[in-house]
Structures are given as C-alpha cells and as structure tokens.
Amino acid sequence: MKQKQAAVMNAPKTVLGFYVKYVCHGLWWLFAALVFCRFIVSLDSVFWPMLQRWVVGMLENAPAGVNLMKWCMPTILLITGISLTMSTFAALRNWAMDAFRPRAENKISEFFTDYVHSQSMSFWTQRMAGQIQSRINDIANGVDAIVFDVVNIFLRFIMIIVNSLALLTVNRYIAIVFICVFIFRAAFMWKLRNPIKNTSKATADAKSKLVGKLVDSFSNATSVKLFAGAQREHDYLVPIRKDWFNKKFRSQFIQRISMAVPNFVWDVTLGVTLVLCVYMYSHSTMSLADIVYSVSVYTMVVGMIGGMMDAIPSIIDRLSAASKAYADLMVPISVQDKPDATDLIVKHGKIEFKNISFKYRHKYILRDFSLTVKPGERVGLVGVSGAGKSTLVHLLMRFYDVNHGAILIDGKDIRDVTQSSLRENISFIPQEATMFNRTIRENIAYGNPDATDAQVKRAAIRSSAHAFIMATDKKYDSFVGDRGIKLSGGQRQRIAIARAFLKRSPILVLDEATSALDSETEVAIQKSFSELSQNRTTIAIAHRLSTLRNMDRIVVMEHGKIVESGTHNSLLRKKGVYARLWNMQSGGFLQE
Ligand SMILES: Nc1ncnc2c1ncn2[C@@H]1O[C@H](COP(=O)(O)OP(=O)(O)OP(=O)(O)O)[C@@H](O)[C@H]1O
Ligand SMILES: [Mg+2]
C-alpha cells in the first residue's frame, strides 16, 4: 500500500504525462502493434488510386490480339493478394485495439480507486461521488482520443502527403492545385482552433455542472419527496440546461462552419481538376489512366480530410475534458504519511490532545484544547450541537491534521505513524454509519475481513442485530441497498456496532453510536458495550446523557473548549452546564 501511495503522490502533472507514464506503461508492445497495423491498413489510401491507374493503363496498353485474361491475371492476383493482406492487418488492428482498450480502462479505474481512497477527508467533503466517477470516465475517454484518434489523424496526414507527392510525379498541375487547397484547409482549421477549443471547454464545464446538479438532485430524492419539490427541481434545472444547450449549440456551430467552408472549396476544386484533366487529355498530355488516378486520389484525400476534420473537434472535446478532470482529481493529498512513518503499536492506550487548535476553513472549531485520557479510561463527551465533538474524534482518526498542537497515543504523535496502523488501532462508530451495497455479512465483516461466520454472528448477537438480520429474506446474505437504504437508521447503527465488536482494537470511539436506537435495544447493547470497553480506552459522544452515566469521566464541551469535567454525580452536584442539560433531558424523554 505504501508503494501505491508513493506512486499516487508522484503522479505526473498533466493528463498526457499520466497516460504515458501509467496507462501505456507495460502496454507499449500493444500500442506499437496497434500503430503498425494501422499504418499498414492506411497504406490502402495510397495503393488504391495506383492500382486503379495500373488496371486502366494495362487495358489501355494491351497489345492487339493478346489474350486479355492471361495478360491481366498476374495483376488481378496481385491486387487480390494486397487486398487480403490489408484485411488481415485490419483484423489484427481490431484485435490490438480490443486488447488495449479494456486494459487501459482497468488501469485508470484501478489507479484512481487507489488514489481517491488515499485522499484526505476534505477531498471527499468537497466532491460528490457521482462527480468523481464521471471525472474518471472523462480521463478514460481521453486515452481513446489519443491512442485511436490522434494516431489515426497522424497516419492520415502522412498518407495525404504521400498521395500528394505521388500525384506530383503523375501530373504536377493537378498536384499543385491539391496542395494549395490542402494548405488552405489546414490554415483554416488552425485559425479556428482556439474558438473550437474554448467553446468545447465551455460546453464541457456546463455539462459537468449540469451532471453535478442532477446527481445532487437524485441523491436528495427523499427531500424532494418530503417537500413535494419535483416541480422546484425541474425549474431549478431549467437555466442550467439552457446554459448547456446554448454553449453546445455555439460550439457545434463553429465546428460545422469549420467543415462546411472547406467542403465548398473542395467541390470547386473537383470542377477545376476535371477541367484540367479534359484540357490535358484533349492535348494528349494526360492519359486515361492518369485521369482515373487523379480523380481517385481526389476522392480518397477528400474522404480522409473529411474524416480528420470530423474527428478533431471531438478529440479536442475529449482531451480538454480529460485534462480538466485530471486537474480536478489530482489535488495534493492534505493528510499524508511521513516517508519515515512507522506502524503504531498501542501498548497502553493513553490518548493526549495537547493544546490543539483546528479550523476547517477560517473559523476555529477547537482552540488550545487539551485533554488526556488515561489507558483504559472511559470518557464521555458532551456538548451542544456544533460544539466540536465529532471534529475532535475525527482529528484523533487523523481525517484532518491539527493546525496547532499535537495528538499523542502512548506518547507517539499520530502524524509520525502510518494512517492505516492508526485506524487499525481504533474501533470507530461514526455518527452516521454508511453501508456498502453488499451483504449484511460482508458489511459486518468489514471490521475484520478474517472473521469467521461464527464470529460475525456473535458480533451481531452482541449488538442486538441478529434478530432483525434473521428476519430479512436472505438473512446474513441479504443485500442492504445503496448506502444501506434498505435498513432502518437503528439497524444500520447496530451493524456499525457489530463491526466494532469484530474489530478488536485497543481504543474505542463512539460518536452517537446509539442515538437511533429505542431505549430497550439500547439497554441491551449497553451491557455489551461495557464488556467491549473493558480494558480499552474509550471516548463516547452522546446527546442522550443517560448513556454516559457509567463513564469514568464526563467532559463537557462548549465552543471547542472544555467547560466541565468529572463523574456524572460530581457534575450533577456542581449544578453547572451538565446539570442543566441533564435536568432538561430528565424532564423530557429521558425520565428514568
Ligand atoms: N467538513 C466541514 N467543513 C466545514 N465545517 C465543518 C465541517 N464539519 C463540521 N463543520 C463545522 O464544525 C463545527 C463543529 O462540528 P462538529 O460536527 O464537530 O459538531 P458536534 O459537536 O459533533 O455536533 P453534533 O452534536 O451536532 O454532532 C460546526 O459548526 C460545523 O458546522
Ligand atoms: Mg457530531
């Protein structure tokens, strides 16, 4: 994993560099085979006009009285042979293409899966999952654009030059007309390249914005239902769709102009070429075979240029989308393992927050915060919503790095150890547990992939999840739906608790672990929790204060600072913030 992280961190700055260094790496032989086969196949644009000239010339110049079939047979066999060879290379080219494309796609997908999972938390909070996937697709599409289309255009370009030179040897007047028109065409395209690029980029931006908004709208389907917001969603998206349409239309208009004008010029060129041919034929300076050749080259070259020009805007489109996607994903990883980071080994489980300060953006959430949790001590964390409780435990998990101060485990700064070893040593039940759309068994075993079925079942029993799991149609093999949508909030929470039971780590962190549970289930789980927290350093956050009554110490936070600390009874006697919160809850739903 460390090697993979290093590879990710040394990733090239541009998407082109990335294609060369990572995607084509190990696939050069396939790439070379592909280019070679394409080269051979593209030679047919040079051969065919020549063969046609040859056949006509052969018939024109056949000696009187000769057996025509016999006279022509060697040429016919040669042409058939060339044709068969071309088809063989075309088949090989397709094979190379089919072998290259999925390999490259897999490499990109694999690289970015590793990469995004090594990214820090702030990366995820600023992006939507759907958007990330669409960015990865853009990068994969860029490979196609380069490996297939750019190579193709390059080869066509060479063939156009070869054809023009060959024509020069046959009839220099027609060749000169050709070359002039070709230069005009290239200059025209060059002139329009910036408008094409800019409008393509603007269209890609507008599309990405539209997709982002759509994904956001779909992921909030429940809120849309809840607030009867379908019409509002429709109206909200109208200007964004309109903007995309306008940009797309403008971009396509410029692309069409870039094709239409040169096409008119070519049509006139055909007329001029034919006039030249007839003039020279009537003056016996041009044979029938040369006329056939000139017209054949004309159609071949016009066809090739048309194909090239059609492909260029789409290549620019895909390459700019790929480069934008790459720049968006390849941002520096804000939380990284130090090169000399060692694995954390927890012997006692002492946790120290030493004068830490932390801000997400501008406003400090924690300021000069200090707290020491003794080995095996169970500390409850209490405070109003937004006080910074989740932030504090996220810092302990090193989802973010502190701005000042340090967090130590058994005296070791968590910035000096590998993130994976840090997280392996902490069982963390987050405030909002998310599930994979996999089976219940897989979701529980995520806490310990080596766990046996019996261990998974025992964890489920201890977290009071076994009964509801057995009631689902496929029991432990039931799928839980996207992000666990087929489970109730309390069921998801119990699966998350089962994960923690399975992960036997010396530190336990619970962030509102039982908030979605009914009192009866909670009481049942509390027993397992006290068992689980035996000999483990525990930090438990809860709004329902009754769940923290048996903690060794309760710490009360306000605006990112500790305002009170002590046992449940001592805090009640103090009649401070905790006592006030407790009284409010006792008067409410927690009267016991
Ligand atoms: N990713 C984030 N980016 C910016 N600000 C954030 C982010 N996460 C939390 N905050 C802000 O940090 C503050 C503390 O949030 P935190 O989640 O730590 O509170 P909490 O004490 O856990 O609250 P609750 O009891 O509601 O869970 C809040 O004002 C919140 O708006
Ligand atoms: Mg919280």
Annotate 246-268 with three-state secondary structure.
HHHHHHHHHHHHHHHHHHHHHHH
145, 101 contact by CB (below 8 A): no
Rounded Cα distance between 540 and 431, Å, is 11
Residue 251 CA to ligand 1 center (angstroms) comes to 43
- Tell me the longest C-alpha to C-alpha distance in the chain: 127
The residue count of the chain comes to 592
pLDDT for 8 equals 61
Q: Does ligand 1 come within 6 angstroms of the Cβ of 17? A: no
Residue 591 burial class via C-beta count within 10 angstroms: exposed 0-12, middle 13-18, buried 19 and up: exposed
Q: Does ligand 1 come within 6 angstroms of the Cβ of 26? A: no
Q: Does ligand 1 come within 6 angstroms of the Cβ of 431? A: yes
Question: What's the sign of the alpha-carbon dihedral 337, 342, 343, 347?
Answer: negative
Q: Does ligand 1 come within 6 angstroms of the Cβ of 384? A: no
14, 323 contact by CB (below 8 A): yes
Rounded Cα distance between 253 and 388, Å, is 53
494, 529 contact by CB (below 8 A): no
Protein residue with least CA distance to atom 5, ligand 1: 360
Residue 67 CA to ligand 1 center (angstroms) comes to 95
Residue 213 CA to ligand 1 center (angstroms) comes to 24
Structure tokens at 410: 């058994």
pLDDT for 146 equals 84
- Angle, CA of 82, 84 and 87, to the nearest 5°: 110
Q: Does ligand 1 come within 6 angstroms of the Cβ of 360? A: yes
50: left (phi over 0), alpha (psi -120 to 50) or beta: alpha
Distances (CA, A) of 308 to 144, 150, 152, 265, 501: 15, 9, 8, 16, 62
pTM given for the model: 0.77
Q: Does ligand 1 come within 6 angstroms of the Cβ of 365? A: yes
pLDDT for 425 equals 94
Q: Does ligand 1 come within 6 angstroms of the Cβ of 385? A: yes
Q: Does ligand 1 come within 6 angstroms of the Cβ of 387? A: yes
**pLDDT tens track of the chain, all 592 residues?**
555 555 566 788 899 999 988 888 888 999 999 999 999 999 989 998 998 898 898 888 888 888 888 888 988 898 899 999 999 999 999 999 999 999 999 999 999 998 888 888 888 888 877 778 888 999 999 988 888 888 889 999 899 889 988 888 888 888 888 888 888 888 888 888 888 888 887 887 888 789 888 888 988 888 898 888 899 999 999 999 999 999 999 998 998 888 888 888 888 988 998 899 999 999 988 899 999 998 898 888 888 887 887 788 788 878 888 988 899 899 888 888 988 999 999 999 999 999 999 998 888 999 999 999 999 999 999 988 888 999 999 999 999 999 999 999 999 999 999 999 999 999 998 888 888 989 999 999 998 888 999 999 999 998 889 999 999 999 999 998 877 888 888 888 889 889 988 888 899 999 987 777 777 777 777 777 777 788 899 999 988 888 888 899 999 998 888 999 999 999 989 988 898 888 887 643 443 3
Which helix or strand (DSSP H or E) is residue 370 part of?
A: strand 364-373
Strands 351-359 and 426-429: unpaired
Residue 392 CA to ligand 1 center (angstroms) comes to 10
- Angle, CA of 505, 508 and 512, to the nearest 5°: 145
The atom number, within ligand 1, closest to the CA of 125 reads: 1
Residue 390 CA to ligand 2 center (angstroms) comes to 4
Protein residue with least CA distance to atom 22, ligand 1: 390
| For helices 44-60 and 28-42, angle between their N-to-C axes, nearest 10 degrees | 20
Residue 432 CA to ligand 2 center (angstroms) comes to 9
Structure tokens at 134: 């669409």
Rounded Cα distance between 44 and 52, Å, is 12
440, 495 contact by CB (below 8 A): yes
The best mutation among 122, 358, 365 to test binding of ligand 1, ranked by most ligand atoms within 8 Å of the C-beta, falls on 365
Protein residue with least CA distance to atom 4, ligand 1: 360
Q: CATH number of the domain at 2-329, please?
A: 1.20.1560.10
Residue 553 CA to ligand 1 center (angstroms) comes to 23
The best mutation among 389, 392, 559, 561 to test binding of ligand 1, ranked by most ligand atoms within 8 Å of the C-beta, falls on 389
Where in the chain are the domains?
2-329
The best mutation among 122, 364, 391 to test binding of ligand 1, ranked by most ligand atoms within 8 Å of the C-beta, falls on 391
Protein residue with least CA distance to atom 9, ligand 1: 391
Protein residue with least CA distance to atom 17, ligand 1: 390
